[in-house]
Amino acid sequence: MTKLDLLRRHGLFTARVPRYTSYPTAPNFGTGVRDNTFREWVEAIAPGSAISLYIHIPFCRRLCWFCACRTQGTQTDAPLRGYLDTLRAELDLLARHLPADIRLSRLHWGGGTPTILPAPMITELADAIHAILPAAETHEFSVEIDPTVLDDDRLDAVAAAGLTRASLGVQDFAPEVQAAIGRDQSFEATRFAVDGLRARGVKNLNLDILYGLPFQTDESLSRTVAQVLDLGPDRLALYGYAHVPWAAKRQILIPEHALPDGEARLRLFELARDRFEGAGFETIGMDHFARADDGLLAAHRAGTLRRNFQGYTDDDASVLVGLGASAISRFPQGYAQNQVSTGTYAKAIGEDRFATCKGHVLTADDRLNAELIDDLMCRFEIDIDGVAERAGTSPDHVRQRVAELDPDLAELLDPGPRGPVLRHRELVRLVAVGFDAYATGAARHSLAV
């Protein structure tokens, strides 16, 4: 049996499975976690420790059809002013419950389009954050930047706020692909953003590309990859386009007949991956690539790579607090998510209570399954002793859980020095779902490739 036949037999080209940026995944969160739970978890953070902070800005000037993020369109700054006021109130509420001497390890602004904020609002938000959370020694401040919503004033503002890493979405530069996904982003606009960030001392640049887009071909993706490499990024992400119109209604505007099938998606991924590796990038996990001096690569080599809601990370903070509408927080005790609607979120904060509406309290089994899935997703193997230590259980218990894996999935694992090793990395999400106690088949996810 050829490798392609094996991938077909295991359903790689048709299966829909989670990306496992958390375990359990967000669709499995329940309403048992509310504002009082969130408050208790915040107050239980160890005094003097470092935490990470995620700020969600759910606004865009233009809604791209391919995007499944929680965001909304606005052509004026009025909603931004109101939202920023609510964010500042949420920060003040958080500050009242944080233990003493908490420092900020990582700060990430996502969206939406964080740089939709005018320069004075960028400065105001950054100042409000740093007023309650001084930077730790490992501090990194990253922002998702849309090159089509950027000018010199905004560049000056993010740089002055201490930006250390910028993440720019490219998707695909081909005009026919952009027209099919409702995007209009030229190479020149992207070059302006890259050059402007470099000129202001922002040394670390991530670029994101999507494969599996409508009308995307080997030739068009090759041209985009060449242009991306010409921009000189330090880190790359090569994500598969997730066509989920039942979850992201604007995706009904995407012409489904023009989407590459599963086998074409794999070919597109391999084409870009090979070009990146040929240009000196090292593959990290499923879909990230980094140069030799990047911290993500150091974590990959050290075996400390982790998953979070942005994908792969070298952040070792045990607490990630998410602020803003729909933002998700991660604590040692579990997950908590804010109200999705900006109106409902603002109402809760206006009543001087946290906007938590759902989440999940981790059980001992959850912790074990999470570590098994994380090992597979980050290292394509299961380190029996390492999983046992992190999950707070015995190696024999880990071996027992691995032995319970479906035989069709278990045959994809080979013996290794520390434990089972995945034979074909393309199947990692399909094997990971075998350790997901909440996977019922009822939830609908993106394609596995």
Query: What residues form the annotated binding site for [4Fe-4S] cluster?
Result: 60, 64, 67
Peptide bond into 419 cis (omega under 30): no
Helix (H) or strand (E) holding 165: strand 165-171
Whole-number Å distance between alpha carbons of 402 and 414? 12
CB 378 within 8 A of CB 304: no
Rounded CA gap, 115 and 147, in Å?
9
What b-and-e string marks burial along 246-258, b requiring 16 or more CB atoms within 10 Å of the CB? eebebbeebeeee
DSSP string, 252-277: GGS-GGGS--HHHHHHHHHHHHHHHH
Nearest to 227 by CA among 288, 174, 289: 174
CA separation for the pair 308, 285 (Å, rounded): 13
Structure tokens at 16: 């829909």
Binding residues for S-adenosyl-L-methionine: 54, 66-68, 111-113, 144, 171, 183, 208, 242, 328
Known binding-site residues equal 54, 60, 64, 66-68, 111-113, 144, 171, 183, 208, 242, 328
Q: How large is the greatest C-alpha to C-alpha distance in the chain, in angstroms?
A: 62
Q: What is the dihedral of CA 219, 220, 226, 231, to 10 degrees?
A: 180
The upper half-sphere exposure of residue 205, i.e. CA atoms within 13 Å in the direction of its Cβ, equals 26
**Tokens 């250390």, located at residue:** 164
Looking up tokens 């829909």 gives: 16
Contact criterion met (CB below 8 Å) for 310 and 108:
yes
Give yes or no for a contact between 125 and 111, defined as CB atoms under 8 angstroms apart.
Answer: no
Rg from Cα positions in the chain: 21
Q: CA-CA distance, 240 to 227, in Å (whole number)?
A: 19
Helix, strand, or coil here: 426?
A: helix
Burial of 11 (0-12, 13-18, 19+ CB in 10 A): middle
Give dist(CA 270, CA 265) in Å, integer: 9
